[in-house]
């Protein structure tokens, strides 16, 4: 593997890595494979140094910051003021990667889009890998595969994009944009510009954006980068009865079709590849039907627009399970927008009581529960044959769940237990 001059210079001192999570550990392993050394700093894990100041910064030339570290974090300020180069794991990986890069960002549905692009590239006979915010670090891929013929399809979050300096892509897709992460960015403008940095730094030959993104460029009086193509929602026919028949996946399929056409492929090929495409768990999927009541798991709906899209999908009466850790934004406006879309709300987490007070004003039935398990059981007791119990939280995960996967698994386990108990009573 060829090491760039920049990296050779940075590796003359140990590299400081902020965060011992997936990207941090992968970056440390990649640096070691390149003949360098690193020191991992983590605020919460005492297996690593938990302090970083100007004194520690003097021992480093390069800092690799995990996405959880915002630009105004005290460690980041100490590194900047000490003259350290600060990059993200995606920057490091991009500098070393020899293959092609497709970068995908968006507020909702970007994981499915990344997975589908990767699946379709493989269907076309190409060596493609899904990496990035999807849960598999780009740096981890580099230690297994790195050739000019390989494709890295990189899911990029706003947290990753805001740090970018060296990341380069052959193609970029910015699928959609709506309210999210305002606990970090405070304003929609700051959130937008964090994502827009991917386009500014990536310098891709092919850049595709959705209509929502175009709208916000106009709303913020910003010029859309040159050679950017805005993809219309009616670009090609969407396969019936596929995951792409639901919003926001409808727009995602159109973007994927436009992307493949830009590479010279017939978009109809996607109609074939979608037949063997399996969506990852916890994204608006029917779990089971218990006593005539459908239970749907949409645990990955961690923001307002994702939960709203899920609620809009159903024509049947809906008993909605929502709530969790707030991420900023107008909870009152969210509650008003969804209040007519369900029969009753079953609320959990830190936002439960806040949502409940708003629903009181709107005269919407609701209950608050201390656990997700109790909320699911109560929704089953009160729902009726032909109704839907929808778990689409609209907020981030919180204790006792580390992530949306754990809480989605919990939901499915409770539903499974309900089914078992029903069978025992028959």
Length of the chain: 426
The β-bridge partners of 130 are 153
Domains of the chain by residue range = 5-87, 94-276, 285-425
Residue closest to 250 by CA, chosen among 317, 334, 313, 298: 313
Neighbour tally for 152: CB within 10 Å: 26
How far apart CA 61 and CA 59 sit, in angstroms, is 7
What dihedral angle (degrees, nearest 10) is formed by the CA atoms of 295, 300, 305, 307?
20
* Intervals of the chain under pLDDT 50: 1-2
pLDDT of residue 7: 82
Return the SS3 of 324.
coil
How far apart CA 361 and CA 311 sit, in angstroms, is 21
- Residue with the two structure tokens 């107008």: 330
pLDDT of residue 235: 67
Strands (DSSP E) along 233-317, which ranges? 285-290, 293-297
Residue closest to 327 by CA, chosen among 305, 358, 357: 305
pLDDT of residue 328: 86
H-helix segments, 97-165 = 110-123, 138-142, 158-161
pLDDT of residue 426: 60
Tally of CA atoms within 13 A in the half-sphere of 328 that contains its CB: 12
How far apart CA 121 and CA 260 sit, in angstroms, is 9
Exposure letters 174-193 (e unless 16+ CB within 10 A, then b): bbbbbbbbbebbeebeebbb
**Two tokens, residue 65:** 């910051």
> Looking at domain 5-87, what is its CATH homologous superfamily?
NAD(P)-binding Rossmann-like Domain (3.40.50.720)
Indicate the DSSP class of residue 375: H
For residue 227, cis peptide bond before it (omega within 30 degrees of 0) = no
On whether the CB atoms of residues 129 and 118 are closer than 8 A, the answer is yes
How far apart CA 252 and CA 107 sit, in angstroms, is 12
The β-bridge partners of 132 are 155
In the CATH scheme, what is the code of domain 285-425? 3.90.190.20
Residue closest to 108 by CA, chosen among 255, 325, 273, 277: 255
pLDDT of residue 8: 83
Class of domain 94-276: alpha beta
- H/E stretch holding 315 reads none
On whether the CB atoms of residues 398 and 407 are closer than 8 A, the answer is no
Model pLDDT for residues 91-117, shown as the tens digit of each residue: 999 999 999 999 999 998 899 999 999
Q: Please state the pTM of the whole predicted model.
A: 0.86
């Amino acid at each position: 593997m060829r090491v760039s001059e920049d990296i050779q210079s940075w590796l003359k001192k140990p590299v400081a890595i902020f965060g011992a999570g997936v990207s941090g550990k992968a970056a440390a392993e990649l640096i070691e494979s390149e003949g360098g050394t690193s020191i991992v700093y983590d605020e919460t894990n005492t297996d690593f140094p938990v302090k970083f100041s100007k004194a520690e910064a003097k021992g480093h030339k390069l800092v690799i910051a995990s996405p959880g570290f915002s630009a105004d974090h005290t460690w980041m300020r100490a590194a900047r003021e000490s003259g350290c180069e600060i990059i993200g794991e995606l920057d490091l990986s991009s500098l070393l990667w020899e293959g092609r890069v497709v970068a995908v960002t968006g507020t909702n549905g970007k994981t499915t889009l990344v997975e589908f692009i990767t699946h379709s590239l493989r269907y076309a006979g190409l060596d493609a890998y899904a990496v990035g915010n999807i849960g598999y670090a780009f740096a981890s891929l580099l230690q297994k595969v790195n050739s000019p013929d390989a494709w890295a399809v990189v899911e990029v979050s706003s947290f990753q994009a805001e740090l970018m300096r060296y990341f380069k892509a052959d193609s970029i897709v910015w699928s959609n944009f709506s309210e999210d992460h305002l606990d970090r960015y405070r304003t929609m403008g700051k959130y937008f510009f964090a994502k827009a940095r991917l386009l500014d730094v990536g310098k891709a030959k092919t850049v595709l954006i959705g209509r929502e993104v175009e709208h916000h460029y106009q709303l913020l009086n910003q010029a859309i980068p040159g050679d950017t193509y805005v993809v219309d929602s009616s670009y090609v026919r969407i396969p019936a009865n596929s995951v792409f028949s639901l919003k926001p996946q409808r727009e995602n399929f159109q973007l994927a079709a436009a992307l493949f056409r830009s590479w010279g492929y017939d978009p109809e090929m996607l109609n074939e590849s979608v037949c063997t495409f399996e969506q990852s768990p916890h994204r608006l999927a029917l779990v089971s039907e218990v006593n005539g009541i459908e239970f749907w798991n949409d645990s990955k709906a961690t923001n307002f627009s994702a939960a709203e899209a899920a609620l809009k999908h159903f024509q049947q009466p809906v008993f909605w399970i929502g709530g969790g850790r707030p991420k900023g934004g107008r909870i009152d406006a969210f509650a008003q927008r969804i209040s007519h879309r369900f029969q009753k709300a079953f609320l959990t987490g830190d936002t439960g009581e806040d949502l409940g007070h708003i629903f009181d004003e709107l005269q919407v039935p609701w209950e608050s529960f201390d656990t997700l398990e109790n909320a699911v059981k109560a929704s089953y007791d009160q729902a009726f044959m032909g109704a839907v119990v929808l778990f689409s939280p609209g907020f981030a995960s919180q204790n006792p769940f580390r992530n949306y996967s754990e809480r989605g698994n919990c939901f499915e386990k409770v539903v499974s237990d309900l089914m078992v108990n029903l069978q025992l009573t028959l």
